[in-house]
Amino acid sequence: MRPLPRSFYDRDTVLVARELLGKHLVFAPDGVPRIGRIVETEAYLGPHDLAAHSSKGLTERTRVMFGPPGHAYVYLIYGMHYCLNVVTEREGHASAVLLRAIEPIQNVSGRTCGPGLLCKAMGIDKRLNGHDLLSDDLFITETSSPECFRIVARPRIGVDYAGAWAKRKLRFYIRGNAFVSRP
DNA sequence: CACAGGATCCGG
DNA sequence: CGGATCCTGTGG
């Protein structure tokens, strides 16, 4: 299992969000790999995207989003759930892809159909904020035998405050997959 | 220092 | 549909 190269993340955010579908998220904090297949993502395009955290500007919280691609942006939401993003495009572009759901593959127990549940099941918290995804304990990898699937595009969840940006179809999931949070 | 609000989840 | 729960950003 090899981590995807930095060049994978240093590309158009919508393309990265779509191509992350079907890939394996691996977290091995104690050497034992917990693996989930990514089945649902959302693209956050940068400061001009009013649904993106980076639209509020560079702050301590959004610092990682403004950094180089291929790093984990983890934040606490509603005081109780963590969300995991991967930073995309060149440094300073401040775009990212939110991982919303995975299908358990190995050493993952509990529900995984939602960004908070995904992190809980994988054991991911804010200690991983800023973590390089080209590392040996947290990374995303190509599957050995990729399956064919159709991609569905829908508006993102929970961003009604973002005006016209809330209507953009920047949420992507694998059609028919049982682990998608809101099919 | 005070306070408002959030890329969610759960239970009724 | 409301409540949980707490960190962050902003303003005084």
**Coil, helix or strand at residue A15:** helix
Answer for the pair A105, A168: CB distance below 8 angstroms, yes or no: no
CB of A43 within 7 Å of some strand B atom: no
Domain extent at residue A16: 6-174
Decide: pTM greater than 0.85.
Answer: yes
CB of A65 within 7 Å of some strand B atom: yes
Q: Is residue A46 part of a domain?
A: yes
Sort A63 into a burial class: Cβ within 10 Å, 0-12 / 13-18 / 19+.
middle
CA(A142)–C1'(C3) in Å? 41
Q: Domain with A151 in it: what CATH number?
A: 3.10.300.10
Say how many domains are in chain A. Answer: 1
Q: What is the pLDDT of residues A145-174, one digit of tens each?
A: 888 999 999 999 999 999 999 999 999 999
At A124 the pLDDT is 98
Q: Is residue A58 part of a domain?
A: yes
Spatial separation of the C-alpha atoms in residues A86 and A72, rounded to whole Å: 5
Q: Is residue A183 part of a domain?
A: no
Q: Is residue A16 part of a domain?
A: yes
Q: Is residue A182 part of a domain?
A: no
Spatial separation of the C-alpha atoms in residues A30 and A153, rounded to whole Å: 36
Q: What mean pLDDT do residues A120-146 have?
A: 97
Q: What is the pLDDT of residues A85-112, one digit of tens each?
A: 999 999 999 999 999 999 999 999 999 9
Q: What mean pLDDT do residues A107-126 have?
A: 98
Phi, psi of A150 (to 5 degrees): -95, 145
pLDDT above 90 as % of chain A:
98
CB of A81 within 7 Å of some strand B atom: yes
